[in-house]
């Protein structure tokens, strides 16, 4: 297969805030998806005002990137009120598409905001090409596949329809079928499908024996083992080792989950998948997944990793219980605000505590990396300090190699 027969997939990153939007694009994302103040499923993700959206769209356009808005809630009676005006505002701001699952919102958007492209959310659980053809005939431009679709099914879907396919390739997995869960509703009175999920599946559980005739609870554990024996919490997905399969199967957009993740996470994961896609498209016949990409992904906070449903039905090995089998060993400590090439000093905004004598790693877009010890730190009053303990404090420090605004700093825990 030659490069001419392959379409370069879009790297689509999450952006829970305006800062994360700019970070994701700076680190190579071709597009980002965000949430507004209504109709989305991440009510705690630092959602965007219309003013922030306008600034985000302007930034994206400057960098030839796109911005999509998730409006993928399941509407109950009355929830749809005001959505027509909401969609018209998104269209007029310049949002590239809206991601929707509820047919009522899809119809309202199509009728009241003509010209605003609609993508079907993964919440709609699209798992076959007949479904994709249906939504294509309804005027949608793209379908986000259910996360339960296998690689074989992706190939079959692509063979029978030409609508754009978006698929999750990295991030958290839901224990329920594409998010169709009401645990949160029952346990914390927060509606998961209207943006309030409390992630009840991530809680720790024990099993109790409660005989009908005995109201006493006897905990079924052996000895004094503290690790939980039972779990509903799925490991995360990572498809970094299977980029060729995804591209050759015809996936148009590689979606990274995580609108509530940090700029450290967003920058690292976008950087990795951008590098992998670029490498494959440059020379598909000689493509190799680099170990440095795998190592890089384990420098950010995440759960253990698997390939989800792409190659097999997940087993108990894809559930989180007992002691962790692998733990990230780095933490995010700062970001570069400026660099003076005449003095070799970088201006840093602190994000986590670090001190003189620490070994730190600088990294930036395009997989720029270097390590160095922290030899000196000077606070904003010009005073030499031994440590940077205060969140968001600004300081300067000498660096052994040029850096750029937006570069990040991490250190081993």
Q: Is the pLDDT of residue 188 over 80?
A: no
DSSP secondary structure string for all residues of 156-219: HHHHH--SEEEEEEEE---SSGGG---HHHHHHS--GGGT----GGGS-B--EE--TT----EE
Q: Is the pLDDT of residue 224 over 60?
A: no
- Retrieve residue 59's tokens: 């930034």
Chain centroid offset of residue 372 CA: 29
Q: Is the pLDDT of residue 123 over 60?
A: yes
Can you tell me the distance from the alpha carbon of 340 to that of 327, in angstroms, rounded to the nearest whole number?
36
**Mean pLDDT on 270-277:** 97
| Domains annotated on the chain, with CATH | 3-176+234-318 (3.20.20.70), 330-412 (2.40.30.10)
**Mean pLDDT on 299-318:** 85
Please report the pLDDT score of residue 269 as a whole number. 97
Burial of 243 (0-12, 13-18, 19+ CB in 10 A): buried
- Retrieve residue 13's tokens: 């990153």
Please report the pLDDT score of residue 222 as a whole number. 43
pLDDT in tens, 43-63: 454 579 999 999 999 999 999
**Mean pLDDT on 90-109:** 97
| Helix residue ranges per DSSP H, 307-403 | none
Q: Is the pLDDT of residue 159 over 60?
A: yes
Question: Which of 19, 275, 395 has its CA nearest to residue 409?
Answer: 395
Least confident segment among 104-108, 123-127, 298-302: 298-302
Least confident segment among 130-144, 314-328, 339-353: 314-328
End-to-end CA distance of the chain: 44
- Retrieve residue 300's tokens: 């950010």
In the structure, what pLDDT confidence band is assigned to residue 192 with cuts at 50, 70 and 90?
low
In the structure, what pLDDT confidence band is assigned to residue 1 with cuts at 50, 70 and 90?
very low
Least confident segment among 140-149, 296-305, 329-338: 296-305
Q: Quick one: what percent of the chain has pLDDT higher than 70? A: 87
CB 180 within 8 A of CB 125: yes
Characterize the bridge pairing of strands 164-171 and 142-144: parallel
> What DSSP character marks residue 401?
S
């Amino acid at each position: 297969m030659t490069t001419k027969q392959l379409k370069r997939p879009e790297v689509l990153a999450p952006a829970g805030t305006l800062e994360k939007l700019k970070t994701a694009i700076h680190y190579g994302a071709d597009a980002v998806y965000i949430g507004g103040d209504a109709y989305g499923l991440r009510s705690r993700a630092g959602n965007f005002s219309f003013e922030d959206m306008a600034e985000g769209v302007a930034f994206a356009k400057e960098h030839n990137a796109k911005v999509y808005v998730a409006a993928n809630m399941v509407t109950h009676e009355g929830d749809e009120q005001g959505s027509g005006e909401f969609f018209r505002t998104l269209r007029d701001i310049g949002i590239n598409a809206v991601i929707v699952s509820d047919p009522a919102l899809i119809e309202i958007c199509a009728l009241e905001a003509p010209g605003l492209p609609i993508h079907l959310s993964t919440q709609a659980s699209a798992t076959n090409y007949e479904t994709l053809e249906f939504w294509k005939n309804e005027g949608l431009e793209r379908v986000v596949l259910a996360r339960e679709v296998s690689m074989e099914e992706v190939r079959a879907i692509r063979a029978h329809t030409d609508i754009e396919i978006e698929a999750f390739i990295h991030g958290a997995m839901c224990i329920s079928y594409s998010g169709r869960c009401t645990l949160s509703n029952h346990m914390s009175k927060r509606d998961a499908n209207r943006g309030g999920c409390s992630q009840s599946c991530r809680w720790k559980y024990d099993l109790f024996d409660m005989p009908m005739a005995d109201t006493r609870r006897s905990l079924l554990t052996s000895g004094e083992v503290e690790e939980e024996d039972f779990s509903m919490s799925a490991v995360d997905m990572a498809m970094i080792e299977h980029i060729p399969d995804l591209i050759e199967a015809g996936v148009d957009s590689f979606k990274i989950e995580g609108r509530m993740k940090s700029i450290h996470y967003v920058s690292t994961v976008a950087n990795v998948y951008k590098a992998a896609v670029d490498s494959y498209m440059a020379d598909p016949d000689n493509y190799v997944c680099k170990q440095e990409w795998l190592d890089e992904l384990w420098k950010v906070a995440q759960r253990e990793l698997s390939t989800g449903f792409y190659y097999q039905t997940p087993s108990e090995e894809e559930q989180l219980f007992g002691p962790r089998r692998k733990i990230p060993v780095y933490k995010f400590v700062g970001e570069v605000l400026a660099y003076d090439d005449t003095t070799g000093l970088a201006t840093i905004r602190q994000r986590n505590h670090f001190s003189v004598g620490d070994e730190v790693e600088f990294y930036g877009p395009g997989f720029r990396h270097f390590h160095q010890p922290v030899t000196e730190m000077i606070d904003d009053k010009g005073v030499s300090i031994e440590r940077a303990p205060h969140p968001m404090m600004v300081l300067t420090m000498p660096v052994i190699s040029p850096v750029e605004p937006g570069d990040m700093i991490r250190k081993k825990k």
